Structure 1
């Protein structure tokens, strides 16, 4: 995180994150005693900073979540050349329950969730009313953000109009202090997890200011909530909130598409971004998408002709690539080793509003055609004269490629990944073996026993 260091809590996470060869050793002097941390407003703020830092770690929004969405959903848009077997297994839909990437994403997310619970349980030490509200809002935003990703990868897709009793992930809303007791926690249903995520985000919106530097603000929470509603096919709420963000956030699309990426500062269309510098933060998107001169491994993930054929000749997004030493085509979205990771961009809100309006046969804020053409004009693509649902979904693939959307769009639109259907067991991550071994109440996902 920009100008921030990791805070290492002495309190254990409910779900322990053990070290492995993918993690850097952290010096003890970077730690802070837990009792000291929760006894002062400054300590609470430092725990919050640590929660942001861990959310921006490579295991989560530092790149891995976005990469999983591409590898798991690959339907001829990319090649995987990497030598990391665990990522290769995700690409091949041949994941085993002790996959180190899956394990560490689960562990890191629950580490953040535990930190937010610590914050929320000790808010009384923050005496300034505005600071208290802001900290509560930021903590609930981060908790919701992490739970939303967990339920999407470790649970089956939410189905509108159904009971959604399929297993999601455990909801843990309190810090565990009695580590000699029974720490077993069962998985909640997908419905219950979505309900908690929406509750956290609504409470976050009520507490966050409209501007909050590069931390989460009220419009960050609204934009995430619009994304959540779209995933659960609640198009009315997705549309209404996306329209609010577009109309009232003060954000605007960058004039040039290429300027929306590889920036060292937040940009005009950022609703939420992870901060990365040479001193702190991680960017696994660079690691696996970029060539060596850009700080990557040389192009573990490259683009295919099928992907490039999505674009017409004048669309700048279709030429937003470069070649590596092996003449592989690499995306130009990730070429700045220390560039911020843009987690929620305004362009997504236009596409959510367009799709939701189309499905509802409404034109709140703009027609679906107008919103799609707003995105296309910025990319110098020709304007459409009419629009279909397929046009809108294809525009999402063009605009939001390699930003963490593909598998989730496949699932919510009930598409296929090769011969696998959208609800295939192979498109859901296993509950990590370590968690199954230490938590007797956890039930493994089908196909991983």
Structure 2
């Protein structure tokens, strides 16, 4: 792909050896047409979708689904030849102070820059594109519509990226304190700024809402021709409804979700899927947007030394729930739960992302949650509509109050599991003014000997407490070194509180 930029793209490059405002140089080719900017947008803003090969090789957010309570590791006393996968995620999945730390104390994953550097890079490319659109000579109506569509895509992506970053590096949104809570830096111009600071949480969310509102308008006036793989009016509306949920703005969440559902409401009847067909496939008519890749099928095998689906999640599904057998399968040798046909296991096949996919089912859940928080009787109706397409012989249920909210939250966990939602949902549930929910998570991390055929050695137990500081990532060290006055997020040193030895004995640490 040709890379066109009018001038050097100066972006917030936060590498371990560079300053906070290092310069990044692209090919210096003058932008001449709208098509040139469209190529930059596609090549340097959208996250590439690749067929997964090795874990962590195709997505800078591969670890997002390994932070929450939907996964665990496998204890297999006959050996664990898959241990290399879990070792790479040791610091992430056990919520350590150094997220890139490995079992032996070394750092195996660059923890200082990504996802900060990856995301801010794309944000600054967006800023350049938006600025250059003002300077392009538009040749007729077709060019004008193309420019408007590009604007819409840029505003959507900037809103999405800031929403993603603020949920990694800042506290969950609470309306009464958002204007006093530290968010993340907002970069909205295409030039280098010497001063950079953390904007308030309220300012960041207001910018996200502004960007997505603009995207809805622009992509309504210039519709997207390829909506599943590029931003569209529908994807902007769906994301906006999610953002309002996070802000506890239930009225706007309901209004926006309803607007989406007026134009897009088709659900897949899982019972109609062929025996060898995966759910998250490129032809799934529920999927309205996807970017980036998925790597879960490589590591959620439930084999020795690998990750498995938590029993806590698996046991939520009724036996008549089609998703139970479609999403999961039991590994006979380990008695652990593996990922089955939610994503494709065919080698080399490109499938929707496990972190940046949006689909219609979420709109049903957003609508149900917003209605429930507003004491709107339609909440049960939206929940029941979804379940009719997921559960055999389903009989509509009626709930109210906190029980209804709990049912919707559990349904959200079941429906959207392993799609990058759960970690962020746990954060916002804990901050919810009405019906707050907090839980303690215990991770069992199995370790294997590398010099003895990967024989099981021990399993360390780590605890993520309610309101744990580890729900926030630390600001990268290179940022703090360049901007000494930029406040960091607390993230304490964490050690295993107990372990299980090769004979199955539980040993509590002092």
Change (3 A) 1:403 1:63: farther
Instruction: Tell me how far apart the structure 1 counterparts of residues 389 and 112 of structure 2 sit (CA, whole Å).
Output: 37
Instruction: After TM superposition, give the deviation of residue 159 of structure 1 in Å.
Output: 0.6
CA contact (8 A) 1:303 1:330 kept: yes
Please report the RMSD computed on the Cα atoms of aligned residues, expressed in angstroms: 3.2
1:386 partnered with 2:398? yes
Match of 2:46 among 49, 53, 60: 53
What residue number does 1:25 align with? Answer: none
Aligned partner of residue 350 in structure 2, secondary structure: coil
What residue number does 1:442 align with? Answer: 486
Aligned partner of residue 54 in structure 1, secondary structure: coil
Match of 2:339 among 331, 344, 350: 331
Aligned partner of residue 167 in structure 2, secondary structure: helix
Instruction: After TM superposition, give the deviation of residue 353 of structure 1 in Å.
Output: 0.6
Aligned partner of residue 113 in structure 2, secondary structure: helix
Change (3 A) 1:196 1:126: farther
Q: Residues 118-144 of structure 1, C-alpha deviation per residue, up to 9 Å, x if partnerless?
A: 100100215122111111110111111
Structure label with greater radius of gyration: 2
Q: Indicate the larger mover: 200-209 or 375-384.
A: 375-384
What residue number does 1:278 align with? Answer: none
Match of 1:303 among 277, 297, 309: 309
What residue number does 2:202 align with? Answer: 191
Q: Unmatched 5+ residue regions in structure 2?
A: 18-24, 75-82, 101-108, 431-437, 442-462, 494-510
Q: Residues 414-445 of structure 1, C-alpha deviation per residue, up to 9 Å, x if partnerless?
A: 12233655543111111112222233453211
Instruction: Tell me how far apart the structure 2 counterparts of residues 260 and 219 of structure 1 sit (CA, whole Å).
Output: 24
What residue number does 2:328 align with? Answer: 321
1:134 partnered with 2:149? yes
TM norm structure 1: 0.82
Instruction: After TM superposition, give the deviation of residue 406 of structure 1 in Å.
Output: 1.1
Instruction: Tell me how far apart the structure 1 counterparts of residues 416 and 9 of structure 2 sit (CA, whole Å).
Output: 37
Structure with the largest fraction of helix: 1
What residue number does 1:399 align with? Answer: 415
Change (3 A) 1:312 1:64: farther
Change (3 A) 1:126 1:349: farther
1:122 partnered with 2:132? yes
CA contact (8 A) 1:290 1:335 kept: no
What residue number does 1:39 align with? Answer: 32
Residue pairs, 1:40-119, within 5 angstroms? 40-54=33-47, 65=61, 67-68=63-64, 70-74=65-69, 77-80=70-73, 83=84, 85=87, 87-96=89-98, 100-101=110-111, 103-119=113-129
Instruction: After TM superposition, give the deviation of residue 210 of structure 1 in Å.
Output: 4.1
Instruction: Tell me how far apart the structure 2 counterparts of residues 217 and 60 of structure 1 sit (CA, whole Å).
Output: 28
1:271 partnered with 2:288? yes
CA contact (8 A) 1:273 1:340 kept: yes
CA contact (8 A) 1:288 1:299 kept: no
Q: Indicate the larger mover: 57-66 or 140-149.
A: 57-66
CA contact (8 A) 1:231 1:408 kept: no
Instruction: After TM superposition, give the deviation of residue 315 of structure 1 in Å.
Output: 0.5
1:358 partnered with 2:372? yes
Change (3 A) 1:6 1:371: farther
Match of 1:372 among 373, 378, 383: 383
Instruction: Tell me how far apart the structure 1 counterparts of residues 464 and 175 of structure 2 sit (CA, whole Å).
Output: 21
Question: Number of residues paired by the alignment?
Answer: 411
CA contact (8 A) 2:184 2:200 kept: yes
Match of 1:261 among 255, 279, 284: 279
Change (3 A) 1:165 1:71: farther
CA contact (8 A) 1:299 1:330 kept: no
TM norm structure 2: 0.73
Aligned partner of residue 103 in structure 1, secondary structure: coil
Instruction: Tell me how far apart the structure 2 counterparts of residues 12 and 285 of structure 1 sit (CA, whole Å).
Output: 34
Q: Indicate the larger mover: 318-327 or 369-378.
A: 318-327
CA contact (8 A) 2:14 2:478 kept: no
What residue number does 2:504 align with? Answer: none
Instruction: After TM superposition, give the deviation of residue 345 of structure 1 in Å.
Output: 0.8
CA contact (8 A) 2:474 2:488 kept: yes
Q: Residues 347-398 of structure 1, C-alpha deviation per residue, up to 9 Å, x if partnerless?
A: 01001111111110124xxx22221112211112533421221111111111
Aligned partner of residue 481 in structure 2, secondary structure: helix
Change (3 A) 1:150 1:421: same
Instruction: Tell me how far apart the structure 2 counterparts of residues 90 and 8 of structure 1 sit (CA, whole Å).
Output: 36
What residue number does 2:424 align with? Answer: 408
What residue number does 1:212 align with? Answer: 225
